[in-house]
Structure 1
Amino acid sequence: MQDPTRVDDVVLSDFEVLKVLRSDENLKLIAVQARRRRKSELNDDAVDSQDAVVVLEKKPFTEESAVAFTSDLNTQLTTIMRNDIYGLFDGISTDKASIVNAIKVTTIYPATVDHIRKWSDQPFFMVRETAQDYKQITEPYILRNKLSLEWVYAVLSGKAEAERIVCNDQDTENGFVLAPSLRWDGVNKEQLDLTAIVRRSDVKSIRDLRADHLPLLYNLWKKCTATIKTKYGAEANELRAYFHYQPTYYHLHVHFTYLKEWNAGTAAGRAHLFMDVVQNLQTDGNYYAKRTMYFTLRRDDPLLTLLGDSHQLECF
């Protein structure tokens, strides 16, 4: 039987936590930077000093988990406060197998400096990027420093995560793959979160979209919404479809989430609604080649420095 703590040959107990990168009480999430223990501590022949990012996140409640927790004799309550009809308690299930105790673990190993920076807690700043800025500053920076896209190509080729793909259009011009995000368990409709990755490798972000990409966008919308309705029971008008700018990785992809689901990725300053992007291209096929873009960057993002302080404040 496979070791349950092992994911792609990563054993959590082999690592020591170096520091907390981020802790989010609202998302019930904590991300830490860890490093594999030395050979003498592991008593094996594998030695490296590569860091990892480990993300621990409480899994969302389901109806079944709520019923199990409230009816379980192993559930222990510690009173925090009682006032008239109101009570506040700490609840703990002593049943180690309880689904209430489940934690989703995401590992990035080996993790680069960019991975660690992405998961570190930092303040954000709003910046301004003209079309000229993009050509002279942003695009050269992207080409020099973008994260490896090997994992994207592995998904597109079917070498990785093939069992997760729910829609696979293999057309080289207008095709894509659609799969649940790693953030979603693939079951709870209200946390629905899927990503469609286009097959074309010449479109890094919405900045590269032109009128001749509209057939790709039409095809993606039609087939993704049909798949999501059939498989998960969510109508097209219950979905929020959007692009990120700046995106996490520079290969065009579209996010689909349930309207009731909220996460930081849907906030203004990063998310661009799919329908708005389509309509902008219908109005002007070179819209994103010419438009001045406003978006947020973290304080430690090198692009913030490259764009300059004036771009952090100018609006018009």
Structure 2
Amino acid sequence: MAASTHHADMLRNFRFERVLNEDAITSSLVLLGSIPTASHTNGTEQRAPAIARIERGALPPALSSGDLVAALRDTQLVLSNDIYASLHGWLAPSEDRPDVKIGVIFPATDVHIRKYSAQRYYMVRETPALYERIVKPYIAAFPPARTQWVVDILEGRAEADKVLHSDPAYVLLPDIKWDLATIASLYLVAIAKDGSIRSLRDLRKHHLGMLRSIRRESARVARQRWGLGRGALRMYVHYQPSYYHFHVHVVNVEHTAPTGMSVGQAHLLDDIISLLESDVDDGPSVFERMTLTYALGEQHGLFEPLRAAQEAEED
């Protein structure tokens, strides 16, 4: 069965349970449901949790005004006031212009469900001591199965045809969130091959060669494949990251929609390189010594222990 047919069947069998989140800014909706598994016992359907993230597809930048008018199937006036007018429009079906982009996580774990649920965020200050006592054991407790999909990419068993650049230290490929067509929302990811680098905290001065190569080769690939010149890319590392295997996000600087570019969570690759370049040659690295301040959602597994630890310190 073709992969596209398989995933279409998955969506057709998606049984809605509840809305996890909705975002008017990105025009996205995250749904929790279930999808049948491959196994059946005594005719009873077995289902597993699934998450579907649905967002509006981007209009092609080459769509001229004439093409847009031709693409409209219908319009409805909402408001007209002097020189201003607002209309609703419906586009005719098109293979080149999908209406929505759908991301599916199946089977979804409780960690996935918490991550994509609407939640309040709070600022936390993670000292080196709190990292050693709370965060590091939390990261170490994650089972290898959680990042098996990363290993499959690195070992060539998945997405091998998508790899844009392969290096002894990392691979560069499109991020699953990119539609592979809209250059303004270009989104790549560089994944380190060294699994011992779990997060920003594990970076050392001897990793500078890898980080500089990611910066250089990402710019080269973007220039050669998509004509993006110097300064057209925003490269950053998340802390806390969405998965604990070191990776660098490479995004078109014009792409303002991605969540995770907020102050505290996103650390610019240029700044990381600069800090490591000025770091000491011996002793703990700068990222071992720093206190990191960032927003943490109340659904995150670290939220309760970090909040309790910080409240205890304040008392």
Do Structure 1 and Structure 2 share a fold, with TM-score over 0.5?
yes
Q: Which residue of 1 aligns with 2:300?
A: 301
Asked if the contact 1:243/1:272 (under 8 Å) is kept, the reply is yes
CA distance in 2, matches of 1:56, 1:86: 31
CA distance in 1, matches of 2:207, 2:110: 34
Q: What amino acid maps onto 1:152 in structure 2?
A: V
The CA deviation at 1:96 is 3.3
CA distance in 1, matches of 2:74, 2:4: 27
> TM-score scaled to structure 1, two decimals?
0.88
CA distance in 1, matches of 2:98, 2:195: 41
Judging changes above 3 Å, is the alpha-carbon distance between structure 1 residues 311 and 222 closer, same or farther for their aligned structure 2 residues? same
Q: What amino acid maps onto 1:138 in structure 2?
A: V
Structure 2 runs not aligned, ≥5 long: none
Mapping of residues 173-212 of structure 1, within 5 Å: 175-212=169-206
Asked if the contact 2:60/2:97 (under 8 Å) is kept, the reply is no
Q: Which residue of 2 aligns with 1:29?
A: 28
CA distance in 1, matches of 2:29, 2:294: 25
Judging changes above 3 Å, is the alpha-carbon distance between structure 1 residues 215 and 99 closer, same or farther for their aligned structure 2 residues? closer
- 1:113 equivalent to 2:110? Answer yes
Asked if the contact 1:65/1:99 (under 8 Å) is kept, the reply is no
Q: Which residue of 2 aligns with 1:154?
A: 152
Judging changes above 3 Å, is the alpha-carbon distance between structure 1 residues 240 and 314 closer, same or farther for their aligned structure 2 residues? farther
> TM-score scaled to structure 2, two decimals?
0.88
* Residue number among 75, 80, 83 corresponding to 2:81 in the alignment: 83
Asked if the contact 2:198/2:244 (under 8 Å) is kept, the reply is yes
CA distance in 2, matches of 1:185, 1:166: 15
Q: Which residue of 1 aligns with 2:213?
A: 219
CA distance in 2, matches of 1:65, 1:110: 38
The CA deviation at 1:5 is 5.6
Measured against aligned partners, the alpha-carbon deviations of 1:85-129 in whole angstroms (never above 9, x if no partner) come to: 322111113x33465552111111010001111111111111011
CA distance in 2, matches of 1:188, 1:312: 45
Give aligned pairs, total.
305
CA distance in 1, matches of 2:3, 2:198: 38
CA distance in 1, matches of 2:274, 2:236: 13
Judging changes above 3 Å, is the alpha-carbon distance between structure 1 residues 105 and 5 closer, same or farther for their aligned structure 2 residues? farther
- 1:163 equivalent to 2:193? Answer no
Judging changes above 3 Å, is the alpha-carbon distance between structure 1 residues 313 and 70 closer, same or farther for their aligned structure 2 residues? farther
Structure 1 runs not aligned, ≥5 long: none
Q: What amino acid maps onto 2:134 in structure 1?
A: I
- 1:284 equivalent to 2:283? Answer no
Judging changes above 3 Å, is the alpha-carbon distance between structure 1 residues 217 and 36 closer, same or farther for their aligned structure 2 residues? closer
Asked if the contact 1:126/1:296 (under 8 Å) is kept, the reply is yes
Judging changes above 3 Å, is the alpha-carbon distance between structure 1 residues 125 and 218 closer, same or farther for their aligned structure 2 residues? same
Q: Which residue of 2 aligns with 1:54?
A: 52
The CA deviation at 1:143 is 1.3
Q: What amino acid maps onto 2:83 in structure 1?
A: I
* Residue number among 247, 251, 259 corresponding to 1:253 in the alignment: 247
- Structure 1 stretches of 4+ moved >6 Å: 312-315
* Residue number among 262, 267, 289 corresponding to 2:262 in the alignment: 267
Asked if the contact 1:34/1:53 (under 8 Å) is kept, the reply is yes
Measured against aligned partners, the alpha-carbon deviations of 1:174-233 in whole angstroms (never above 9, x if no partner) come to: x21111112212232211111000111110011001111112212222222212211121
Asked if the contact 1:58/1:102 (under 8 Å) is kept, the reply is yes
Identical aligned pairs, as a percentage? Answer: 29
Q: What amino acid maps onto 2:123 in structure 1?
A: M
CA distance in 2, matches of 1:266, 1:61: 23
Measured against aligned partners, the alpha-carbon deviations of 1:243-263 in whole angstroms (never above 9, x if no partner) come to: 000000111100111111112
SS at match of 1:57: strand
Judging changes above 3 Å, is the alpha-carbon distance between structure 1 residues 239 and 254 closer, same or farther for their aligned structure 2 residues? same
Q: What amino acid maps onto 2:77 in structure 1?
A: T
Q: What amino acid maps onto 2:79 in structure 1?
A: M
SS at match of 1:26: coil
CA distance in 1, matches of 2:222, 2:112: 30
The CA deviation at 1:69 is 3.6
Measured against aligned partners, the alpha-carbon deviations of 1:120-148 in whole angstroms (never above 9, x if no partner) come to: 11111110111111111101011113671
Asked if the contact 2:19/2:29 (under 8 Å) is kept, the reply is yes
Farther off after superposition, 269-278 or 258-267: 258-267
Asked if the contact 1:126/1:313 (under 8 Å) is kept, the reply is no
